[in-house]
Amino acid sequence: MPAFGLIPLSSRVVLWVVSLVLVAAGAGTLAWQVQDWRLGRQLAEQARRHDAALDQLNQATAARQQAEQDKRLALEQRLRASDQTHYRALSDAQRDQGRLRDRLATADLRLSVLLDAQDGVAGCAVPATAATGGVVHGAPRARLDPAHAQRIVGITDDGDRGLIALQACQDYVRALGH
């Protein structure tokens, strides 16, 4: 007789129940472990995808920041070049106006205005035609007083500076618009 047959029936039932419980517990534990491995792989994959997405976002943000910085640097260079151009134009205009004032002050140059040859009633004592020995050709002109000429040059100097400053402002706004 086998050794199993020597065990009383109630003990055999308990042994079968304990065996079934052990088999079920082992199967449950094994299933639990398999699920843990599977879930662990899924979580690791999800974390890897998340890290890859974050890395792509960081790279895109860095590229955008670099592009914006490059744009800003290019704009600064254009504005610097524009400032230099306008400063040079302003300096040239001031130098030319200074020379003109100096020439007017030394009587090296005299400003004159055209006279209307048809306006004989104006009471102007300037002859309508040039003298026979003169080198002035063309319409009759009247010379301005040097003090008035200096004031006119000062007004045109202010106007030139204003126009140069306006051009600089317009170029600045255009550069910012691009």
> Each residue of 114-172: pLDDT tens digit?
777 666 545 555 555 545 445 556 677 777 777 887 888 888 888 888 888 888 888 88
* 80 pLDDT above the threshold of 70: yes
- Residue with the bigger pLDDT between 21 and 116: it is 21
What share of the chain in percent tops pLDDT 90? 35
Residues 6 or more apart whose CB falls under 8 angstroms from that of 17 comprise none
Query: Could you tell me the pLDDT band of residue 64, with boundaries at 50, 70 and 90?
Result: very high
Task: Answer yes or no: pTM beyond 0.75.
Answer: no
Q: Would you say 175 and 79 are in contact if contact means Cβ atoms under 8 Å apart?
A: yes
How is the chain split into domains, by residue range?
3-116+139-177
pLDDT of residue 25: 94
- Residue with the bigger pLDDT between 118 and 34: it is 34
pLDDT of residue 125: 55
HSE-CB of 106 using CA atoms within 13 angstroms:
6
Least confident of 35-44, 89-98, 132-141, 163-172: 132-141
pLDDT of residue 30: 93
Query: How many residues are present in the chain?
Result: 178
pLDDT of residue 86: 87
User: Whole-angstrom Cα distance, residue 65 to residue 2?
Assistant: 84
